[in-house]
Amino acid sequence: MNLRGRDVIGSRAVYGAFATVLDAVGRTPIVKLNRVSAGLTADIFVKLEFANPSGSMKDRAASFLVDELERHGKLKPGGTIVEATSGNTGAALAMVAAVRGYKCVFAVPDKVSHEKVAALRAWGAKVVVCPSAVEPEDPRSHYSTAKKLAEDTAGAALANQYHSAANAEAYYRSLGPELFAQSNGEIDALVVGLGTGGALTGAGRYLKEHKPAVQIVGIDPVGSVYYDKFRYGRDTRAFAYKVEGIGEEFYPGALDMKVLDDVIRVDDRECFATTRDLVRHEGLFCGGSSGAAVAGAIKYARARDKRENIVVVLCDGAEGYFSKVFNDEWMRENGFLGGEGTVRELIEAKGARAMVTARPDDTVRHVVQTMKQHGISQLPVVGDNDRLYGIVAEVDVLRHLVTGEGHLEGTIEHLVESDYASVTPDTRVDLLQGVLADAKIALVTEGRKLVGLVTKIDLIDYLSRKGGLS
- Domain with residue 439: its CATH number is 3.10.580.10
Q: Is residue 16 part of a domain?
A: no
Judgement on whether residues 48 and 181 belong to the same structural domain of the protein: yes
State the pLDDT at residue 403.
75
pLDDT at 365 over 60: yes
State the pLDDT at residue 3.
36
Judgement on whether residues 269 and 302 belong to the same structural domain of the protein: yes
Catalytic residue among 37, 54, 56, 58: 58
377 is catalytic: no
Q: Is residue 15 part of a domain?
A: no
Judgement on whether residues 98 and 245 belong to the same structural domain of the protein: no
Whole-number Å distance between alpha carbons of 178 and 86: 26
pLDDT at 272 over 90: yes
Q: Regarding beta strands 6-9 and 12-15, do their DSSP bridges make them parallel or antiparallel, or are they unpaired?
A: antiparallel
Cβ proximity of 296 and 219 under 8 Å: yes
CATH number of the domain bearing residue 220: 3.40.50.1100
Instruction: For residue 154, give the 3-state DSSP assignment.
Output: coil
306 is catalytic: no
Q: Is residue 181 part of a domain?
A: yes
Judgement on whether residues 196 and 321 belong to the same structural domain of the protein: yes
CA 250 to chain centre: 11
The residues pairing with 84 across neighbouring beta strands, listed in sequence order, are 107
Q: What is the mean pLDDT of the chain?
A: 90
321 DSSP assignment: G
Judgement on whether residues 258 and 396 belong to the same structural domain of the protein: no
CA 238 to chain centre: 11
Q: Is residue 12 part of a domain?
A: no
With CA atoms as reference, report the closest residue to 207 among 182, 225, 229, 190. 190
pTM for this model (two decimals) = 0.82
State the pLDDT at residue 131.
92
Domain that holds residue 81: 59-160
Judgement on whether residues 309 and 204 belong to the same structural domain of the protein: yes
Instruction: For residue 189, give the 3-state DSSP assignment.
Output: strand
Last residue of a domain, one of 298, 333, 368: 333
Cβ proximity of 107 and 85 under 8 Å: yes
> Residue range 100-129: average pLDDT?
96
Choice between 340 and 163, residue whose per-residue pLDDT is larger: 163
Q: How many domains does the chain have?
A: 3
With CA atoms as reference, report the closest residue to 409 among 450, 351, 368. 368
State the pLDDT at residue 106.
98
> Residue range 120-132: average pLDDT?
95
State the pLDDT at residue 14.
65
Catalytic residue among 63, 183, 224, 289: 289
Q: What would the pLDDT profile of 175-191 be if each residue is shown by its tens digit?
A: 999 999 999 999 999 99
